[in-house]
């Protein structure tokens, strides 16, 4: 593709998001005219992959990466990162395909990441951050998980679990992608912490997070357990090295 270094790639991992994908892609393309979209579909049985292919035919700025089976959020993002680095993109965005992240806030994240020369995380648990449509127990789970991760990993970040991010590709290139082993949402904690440990400048930008507008949540007890186990395991290793 020969992309210039300022080019932006927005990665949208999908599994059964046929009801939301088209609208999200449209909003991203409108919000960030210089961006391209990479849909990473894990063999969705509901036709999401076929829809992504149609979107790629209709929009030259949309690309699709098909995977044969559901491999988890973490491995989908790693595949997207490898694609971005191979194609020479300068900035890489992580974003949900279910409508919970507002595409209209993308320019804020991208501008913050560029100003920092590192990464910007769309944060819910900072001043100005908001969550719309979540019941109280979901807020409690999210905030508690974030607090546990911050304490265990001695992190200065306030929303380690956020999946709305913009990252300078030069910092992604320094990550050992093969060492990131969280398959589920714990990948967000793991990758943010690794960037923080490397000294990557990270800005937390307040965002509005909206409960998904369609489909079903992918969160399961197994995913929560994996995330907790990996946080505690890394926290233990951190303390053994001090």
Nearest CA to 56 out of 17, 87, 29 is that of 29
| 0.95 surpassed by pTM | no
CA 216 to each of CA 98, 100, 123, 152, 234: distance values in angstroms, whole numbers, following the listed order = 9, 12, 23, 30, 30
What integer pLDDT is reported at residue 237 of this predicted model? Answer: 62
Tokens read off for 191: 């990758």
196 Cα distance to chain centroid: 16
The domain spans of the chain are: 8-241
What integer pLDDT is reported at residue 2 of this predicted model? Answer: 43
In CATH terms, the superfamily for domain 8-241 is Spore Coat Polysaccharide Biosynthesis Protein SpsA; Chain A (3.90.550.10)
What integer pLDDT is reported at residue 4 of this predicted model? Answer: 42
In tens, the pLDDT along 173-211 reads 999 999 887 766 788 888 998 999 999 999 999 999 998
The SS3 of residue 195 is helix
pLDDT higher than threshold 80 for residue 230: no
* Percent of the chain whose pLDDT exceeds 70: 84
73 and 189 in contact (C-beta within 8 Å)? no
Nearest CA to 42 out of 64, 19, 63, 9 is that of 64
189 and 230 in contact (C-beta within 8 Å)? yes
The pairing of strands 35-41 and 8-14 is parallel
Upper half-sphere CA count for residue 126 (Cβ side, 13 Å) = 15
In tens, the pLDDT along 56-80 reads 999 999 999 999 988 889 999 999 9
Q: Is the dihedral of CA 176, 182, 183, 186 positive or negative?
A: negative
Q: At what angle do helices 186-198 and 136-153 cross, to 10 degrees?
A: 30
Residue 63 β-bridge partners: 38
Backbone φ and ψ for 24, nearest 5 degrees, come out as -65, -45
């Amino acid at each position: 593709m020969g992309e210039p270094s300022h080019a932006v790639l927005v990665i949208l991992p999908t599994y059964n998001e046929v009801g939301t994908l088209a609208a999200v892609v449209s909003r991203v393309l409108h919000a960030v005219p210089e961006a391209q979209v990479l849909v990473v579909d894990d063999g969705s049985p509901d036709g999401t992959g076929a829809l992504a292919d149609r979107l790629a035919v209709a929009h030259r700025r949309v690309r699709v990466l098909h995977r044969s089976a559901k491999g988890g959020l973490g491995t989908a993002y790693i595949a997207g990162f490898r694609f971005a680095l191979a194609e020479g993109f300068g900035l890489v965005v992580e974003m949900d395909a279910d409508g919970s992240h507002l595409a209209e806030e993308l320019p804020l994240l991208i501008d913050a990441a560029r100003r920092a020369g590192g990464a910007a995380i769309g944060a819910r648990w900072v001043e100005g951050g908001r969550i719309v449509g979540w019941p109280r127990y979901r807020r409690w789970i999210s905030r508690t998980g974030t607090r546990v991760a911050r304490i265990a990993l001695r992190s200065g970040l306030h929303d380690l679990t956020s999946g709305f991010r913009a990252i300078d590709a030069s910092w992604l290139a320094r990550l050992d992608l093969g060492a990131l082993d969280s398959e589920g949402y714990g990948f967000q904690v793991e990758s943010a912490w690794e960037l923080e440990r490397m000294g990557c400048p990270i800005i937390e930008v307040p965002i509005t997070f909206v409960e998904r507008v369609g489909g079903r949540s992918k969160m399961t007890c197994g995913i929560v357990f994996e995330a907790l186990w990996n946080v505690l395991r890394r926290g233990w290793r951190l303390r053994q090295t001090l």
